[in-house]
Amino acid sequence: MAFSDFYGNAETVHQLREMLARDHFPHAVILAGPPGSGKYTLALMLARAMNCLSPTTSDGLPDFCGKCSNCTRMAQAEDLNARVAEAVEARENLRETDKKETRILVQVHPDLLVIPPDPPQLLIKVDQVRRLSESIYYRPAEARERVYIFTSSAFMKEAANSLLKVLEEPPSFATLFLLTDNPGEFLPTIRSRCMILTLAALPPPEIESLLAARRPDWNEKQRALVARLSEGAAGHALTFDIATYSAARANALVILNAAARAGDHSDLFKVTETYRPGADGREKTDQLLRALYMLLEDLMYLGNGTPHLVRNTDIQGELKRLAEAVDFDWIVRAAHGLNDVEKGIRRNLLRSLSLDAFAATEHPSRFSG
């Protein structure tokens, strides 16, 4: 593992390493970019470059050896999902009373703390931030730099507020990485105290060539499709689950068709039945929402003279038919409705309820009068 393994956004990576070389690395960095664009991978690489015991250089810039005890221990945090799953399982085995007060944190090295959103609400909570504010002012034990990585920008209000003070006067030996899909989700006061770097979406051809090398199991058509659906995120593209997406999209199409046409709602109910809250309910719902947005955006492209921007290239025909049945105002209302559904879900409403309501608001005949 070294910086050469990071795919894409060479300029941004270069800039970060250059600041490292000049000992001018900011204390707080917001890494923004779509899911799968490599924010976490990059933050973890930088953590190692800051703390490698036998630091190397490449292209005249700092790199890390990947073999020393700091590098290898920090590398254990690479598979974040696995580490979080272990932590969640450990928590499950606690006594009920302790369970409630235990927060998920990933610490594979005394000077590296990874702070994921705490399940089941998947928010960063004040107790998690407290772990940071309690430890950050102590000099690192075995490394040169204490590194904290927040993997989500979904903070509980109190948690965000308690992060503010630390951000205002962080100690000279600590660096915070705040990862987000959307820097707008942070409090402006947090944003203004961080350097914001964006991992831009990679163009589809670039992703296609990456996939050609790394996913030979997909045929050319599938690779072209995934390159567009992954919205420029290399990591997302490499691990793209075509089957799951297709299922979510099929349901999304049923909902949109029901919303666009008068008449029978029975299909719709069948779909929404499957979105009852449950163990995997949240993820499933998120996938459905993403598919709905993606389809709406494609409909907008078709209706506004830019068919070449359509992502769901494999169902162009069906999309064209649907696009003819709706107009721009309908898409605008649908997007607003969908946004409300999303807000409802964030407030932990019954998911199926919100989705039914979305389809109900979408019915075009309601807007004719």
Partner 1 sequence: MSYQVLARKYRPQKFSDVIGQDHVTRTLKNAITQDRVAHGYIFSGHRGIGKTTVARILAMALNCRSAEHPVPEPCGICESCTEIRAGNSVDVIEIDAATNRGIDEIRELREAARYRPARDRFKIYILDEAHQITDAAFNALLKTLEEPPSHVIFMMATTQPEDIPQTIRSRCQHFSFRAVKFEEILTQLADLTARENVVAERDALALLAEAGDGSIRDALSILDQAIASSSEGITVDAVRQLIGTAPASVMEGMMQAVIHNSSQDILQAVDELISEGHSPTHLARQLVRFLRNAVVAKVAGENSALLQVSSDERARIARVAEWFSEEDLARHLQIMLRTHGELGYRQEQRFHLELGLLKMTHAQRLLPIEQLLSGAAVAAVAAPARAAGRAPERAAERAPEARPISTAPSARTSAVSPFAADSARKTNRTPEMSSETKPVQSVAKLESSGSPVIMGSAAPAVEVAVEVAAATEPQAIRDSILDALTDAGQQMVVSMLEAGEWTLEGNQLVVRVASSAAVIDMTVGADTRRIAGATASGRAGRPLKFTVLPGGTESAVEPRSTGASGGRGRMAQDPVVRRLQEKFGAEIRTVIDYREKH
Residue 145 lies near partner 1 (rule: CB under 8 A): yes
Least separation in angstroms between residue 40's CB and partner 1 is 18
Residue 105 lies near partner 1 (rule: CB under 8 A): no
CA distance 302 to 309: 8
Residues in 189-248 at the binding interface with partner 1, rule: CB under 8 A:
189, 192-193, 195-196, 198, 200-203, 232
By CB under 8 A, name the one of 86, 98, 158, 324 that touches partner 1: 158
- Residue 110 has which token pair? 């005394």
Q: Which is nearer to Zn ion, 1 or 113 (CB)?
A: 1
Residue 361 lies near partner 1 (rule: CB under 8 A): yes
240 binds, among Zn ion, partner 1, none (CB under 5 to 8 A by kind): none
Per-residue contact track with partner 1, 254 to 293, x per CB under 8 A?
-----------x--x------------------------x
- Our CA dihedral for 297, 298, 302, 307, rounded to 10 degrees, sits at 120
Per-residue contact track with partner 1, 112 to 141, x per CB under 8 A?
--------------x------x--------
CB 19 within 8 A of CB 25: yes
What's the length of the chain? 369
Q: Which is nearer to partner 1, 23 or 217 (CB)?
A: 23
Q: What is the contact surface with Zn ion in residues (CB under 5 A)?
A: 52, 64-65, 68, 71
Burial degree of 241 (CB within 10 A; 0-12, 13-18, 19+)? exposed
CA distance 121 to 152: 12
CA distance 278 to 145: 41
Is residue 173 helix, strand or coil?
coil
Q: Report angle CA 262, 263, 265 to the nearest 5 degrees.
A: 110
Least separation in angstroms between residue 225's CB and partner 1 is 18
Of 64-72, 82-90, 103-111, 355-363: span binding partner 1 (CB under 8 A): 355-363
Least separation in angstroms between residue 68's CB and Zn ion is 3
Residue 62 lies near partner 1 (rule: CB under 8 A): no
* Ramachandran assignment for 26, one of left (phi > 0), alpha (psi -120 to 50 degrees), beta (any other): beta
CB 116 within 8 A of CB 151: yes
